[in-house]
A = this chain, B = another copy of it.
Amino acid sequence: MSLNYSPIGVFDSGLGGLTVVKELIRQLPREHIVYYGDTARVPYGTKSKESIIRFSHENTRILLKRNVKMVVVACNTSSSYALVQLRKHFHLPIVGVIDPGARKAAEVTRNRKVGVIATPATVNSRSYARAIFRYDRAIQVSSQACPLFVPLVEEGWLRKPVTTAVAREYLKPLRKTGVDTLVLGCTHYPLLKSVLKDVMGAKVALVDSATEVAAEVKRILQDRQLLRPSAVRLFPSGRRARYSFLISDRPQQFEKTAREFLGYNIKAVKI
């Protein structure tokens, strides 16, 4: 059967990448999706470059076994460190989350001052600064690692005063620089949007790369004529899109966390 009917593969260090899946489903409702969350080794954002690269290769291989037609690296940390190597090693389209977010930020900013919040590993990689620089060399990028945001989201403390206090602490230096655009450089952060808006003020635009990533995936599938056709009559596989969720560990509170990211309940298979 042609690759058109194959699923899009998506991997993340854990469940945060489900925010990208949510957007893929919205923009590409006919596409099958296989998601793999490496919940046994989550988080990646505090770990070393070499481990992040090794884990990313292993995750890609798991998706390839499921016959995916392309791979979305729905993890900022993996995208920062492993994308170039993955593209060299595997011969199918691979999309990361850094470049689409960087492009959007370059489009959105008016004063050419962009802030990036992300995990320590993503910040240390300087991947966003480099990507934004490719679009506009005049943009000044300020980055801030926010390692407590992921556990705050996973604890479900999305609107607590404590969360606002943590955000105030982390964002203080960024506010001083006068950025008018803030890139949410981690798939967990869109869940903190209301807190981040409160702290940064209504005039600062928040860039959530999930929307941009899904648009990029759509563009690639169109360009390569890999979209799943909408003719439903001839093939049984022409029916509803199928979603598979694979995980390497079934963490505490799995169902609750998955529902927060995706918006509904899922069944996942531990492999």
Specify the main secondary structure of chain A where it touches its partner: loop
- Measured in the bound complex, the distance between the Cα atoms of B248 and A47 in whole Å is 10
Partner of A252, one of B121, B152, B249, B253: B121
List the number of copies, as a whole number: 2
Total number of A residues with any Cβ neighbor in B under 8 Å: 30
The docked-state distance in angstroms from the alpha carbon of A121 to that of B253 is 10
Interchain CB contact under 8 A, A169 and B165: no
Closest to A150 in B: B151
**Contact assessment for A47 and B251 in the assembled complex, using a CB-CB cutoff below 8 Å:** yes
Using Cβ atoms and an 8 Å threshold, which residues of chain B touch A165? Answer: 161-162, 165
Interchain CA distance A271-B248 in the complex, whole Å = 22
Q: A160-B169, A165-B162 are in contact. Are A252 and B120 (CB under 8 A)?
A: yes
- What is the chain B residue whose CB lies nearest that of A157? B148
Identify the A interface with B (CB < 8 A).
39-41, 46-48, 51, 120-121, 124, 147-148, 150-152, 154-155, 157, 160-162, 165-166, 169, 248-253
